[in-house]
Amino acid sequence: MHSSETLSQFSTIDAIMQGIYDGPATFGEVKKYGDFGIGTVNHLDGEMVGIEGVFYQITSDGAVHVLPDTAKTSFATVSFFRGEHSAHIPKFTSLRSLQKWLDSHLGSRNFFWSVRLHGTFATVKASSVSKQHKPYRPLTEVVKSESIFEFRNVTGTLIGFRSPSYIKGINVPGYHLHFLSDDKIMGGHVLGCSIRKGIARWDSHKTFQMCLPDDPSFRSADFSEHDEEGLQKAEQ
C-alpha cells in the first residue's frame, strides 16, 4: 500500500503529446497506487476520472462508463485522497477565478496538490477525445476534432491536481482538472466553469513516482524538446 503523501503517474505528458497511446498499466494495477485521479484510457479513448476507488471513462460521445480492472491507461495521475484540508467555495463565474481562490488556500507551488471540488455548477465546459488507431496522430492533431460538452445547472465534482512548473514535459504544470456529475452521466476534461457554491478539499504530495511505458515507440522517442505552446492549446 502506498502513502497518501505519494503522487503516482503512468507515462508522461510529452509521450501523450507525441502520440504514444499504448498504456503501461491496467486499472487494476493503477488502483494499487491510488483511489483518486485523472488521465485517459488506452489508445487515448476518452477522458478518465477516478473517485473513491472507481475509475470512469468519458468517451467522445459523452457517455460515462465504469472501467474494468483489465482496461489500460495511456496516461494517469493518481493518489490516495484524504482531503486533509477543506474550505467552502464562494460563487465564481470563471475557472480562472476559482483557480486563483485555490491558489490562496493551497500551500507551496513547489509541491504537488490533489484537489476535489464538489458543488453546484451554473455551467461546466468539458471535452473528450475519440479512440485513436495506428499510426497514431500527435495530441495537437487529435484535439482539433475533440468533442465539446456544455453542462448547465449540474451538481458534481471537479477532480485533479496542481503541479509545479518544473514538471514540464512530465505532467501538466498548474491545474489539470476533470469533471464528473453526481449522477455519473456526464463529465470530461474541464475547459471552463462557473460555480454557485461548494466545498473544496485538498492534499499535498511531497513524494512523486512514475511508471513508464516499455514499448518500442517510447524507447525510441526524442523528448529533448518540450512543446509548451502545443500543450497549452491541447489542454485549453
| All domains in the chain, ordered by first residue | 6-235 (3.30.1330.80)
pLDDT at 166: 97
Residue 80 to residues 32, 84, 208: CA-CA distances in angstroms?
9, 11, 13
pLDDT at 227: 86
pLDDT at 3: 65
Cβ atoms 129, 190 nearer than 8 A: no
The whole-model pTM stands at 0.95
Residues 143-170: what's their mean pLDDT?
97
Q: How confident is the model at residue 2 (pLDDT cuts 50, 70, 90)?
A: low
CA 118 to chain centre: 16
Percent of the chain with pLDDT over 90: 92
Residue 164 to residues 8, 13, 170: CA-CA distances in angstroms?
15, 14, 11
Handedness of CA 49, 181, 98, 188 (dihedral sign): positive
Report the C-alpha gap between 91 and 198 in whole angstroms: 8
- Name the grid cell of 181: 456529475
pLDDT digits (tens, 9 = 90+) for 77-136: 999 999 999 999 999 999 999 999 999 999 999 999 999 999 999 999 999 999 999 999
Does 1 score more than 50 pLDDT? no
Residues 171-198: what's their mean pLDDT?
97
Q: How confident is the model at residue 43 (pLDDT cuts 50, 70, 90)?
A: very high
Cross-strand pairs, 21: none
Cross-strand pairs, 155: 120
Does 60 score more than 90 pLDDT? yes
Stated as kind and residue range, the H or E segment containing 233 is helix 228-235
Does 157 score more than 60 pLDDT? yes
Mean pLDDT of the chain: 96
